[in-house]
Amino acid sequence: MTTCLKCQSTRVTTGTFHHEGGLAFQPDNLKWHFSWNGGAIVEQAARACLDCGLVWGSTSPAELSEYVRKHGR
């Protein structure tokens, strides 16, 4: 069972992040998405807490390190 990283609630749903000029979270089994600034192209697994609203995802450590190496300071 997944618990929220912020409030430790167990009322967590799964979904997908979409990226293209913005960020969107689409809960599993829904045909629409809640969007911040944009559309949907690249998908990444995500979770969202139904109690506090925190939305989070994860990526491979190698991909994250490579991205930070190329684009970070």
How many domains does the chain divide into? 1
On whether residue 50 sits in a domain, the answer given is yes
pTM score: 0.66
- 5 domain residue, yes or no: no
- Domain region containing 56: 12-71
The pLDDT confidence band at residue 21, using thresholds 50, 70 and 90, is: low
Residue 22 falls within a domain, yes or no? yes
In a domain, 34, yes or no: yes
56 contacts 23 by C-beta, under 8 angstroms:
no
Confirm whether 25 is domain-assigned: yes
Is 21 within a domain? yes
pLDDT digits (tens, 9 = 90+) for 24-49: 788 888 765 555 555 444 567 899 99
Residue 48 maps to a domain: yes
What does each C-alpha distance from 65 to 35, 44, 61 come to in angstroms? 27, 17, 6
The DSSP H or E segment spanning 68 is: helix 61-71
Q: Is 41 within the bounds of a domain?
A: yes
